[in-house]
């Protein structure tokens, strides 16, 4: 996996202006409605998607960027933020109720993505959610991004596909695909 520190430092320092309260509410409401007591965002950046969760929920975030993690810890002191890679998540098997990504998987090469999917499956106890830019054929968007078809990626795992639909533009104007899975 290629990690471009300068790109991600810039992304992290600009992350606050990308805050989408509707998306953050959606994630919170979904996890709570599914009776999840612990939540992990992989590629959490500055933690903007985790800030609306109640204190009764155990909140975890993993990211490779130190600047982003410092901001996340400052903005959400109750959260447990760890430096980590999607291919080696620092969690026990089946230890988190709800594991999710939001436009992280679009930045990963295919090999890293495959290992990451396996790790998400390993650490989740109940649910996995991916919101990623979608294209059936997974073609390149930019030099650093690729459209993903996450439903296809999960077919070899023991999961029930609960939802695989485009997010409503009022919730996520980037038109991501919402894929929700239940671990069986």
Q: pLDDT tens, 115-173?
A: 999 999 999 999 999 999 998 889 998 888 999 999 999 999 999 999 999 998 888 88
Averaged pLDDT for residues 9-29 = 80
Q: How far apart are CA 109 and CA 107, in angstroms?
A: 7
CA 99 from chain center: how many Å? 7
User: What is the predicted pLDDT for the residue at 27?
Assistant: 95
> Parallel, antiparallel, or unpaired for β 176-183 and 124-133?
antiparallel
Domain span at residue 98? Answer: 5-183
Neighbours of 110 (CB within 10 A): 11
Structural domains of the chain, count: 1
Nearest to 179 by CA among 166, 168, 135, 114: 166
Which backbone phi and psi does 71 adopt, to 5 degrees?
A: -65, -45
């Amino acid at each position: 996996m290629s990690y471009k520190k300068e790109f991600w430092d810039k992304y992290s320092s600009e992350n606050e202006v990308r805050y989408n309260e509707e998306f953050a509410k959606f994630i919170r409401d979904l996890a709570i409605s599914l009776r999840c007591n612990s939540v992990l965002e992989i590629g959490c950046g500055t933690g903007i998607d985790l800030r609306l969760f109640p204190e009764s929920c155990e909140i975890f975030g993993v990211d490779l960027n130190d600047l982003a993690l410092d901001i996340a810890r400052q903005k959400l002191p109750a959260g447990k933020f760890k430096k980590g890679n999607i291919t080696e998540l620092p969690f026990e098997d089946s230890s988190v109720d709800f594991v999710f990504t939001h436009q992280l998987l679009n930045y990963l090469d295919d090999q890293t993505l495959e290992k990451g999917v396996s790790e998400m499956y390993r650490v989740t106890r109940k649910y996995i959610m991916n919101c990623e830019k979608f294209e059936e054929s997974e073609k390149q968007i930019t030099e650093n991004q690729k459209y993903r078809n996450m439903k296809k990626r999960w077919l070899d795992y023991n999961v029930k596909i609960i939802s695989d639909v485009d997010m409503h533009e009022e919730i996520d104007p980037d038109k991501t695909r919402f894929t929700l899975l239940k671990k069986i």
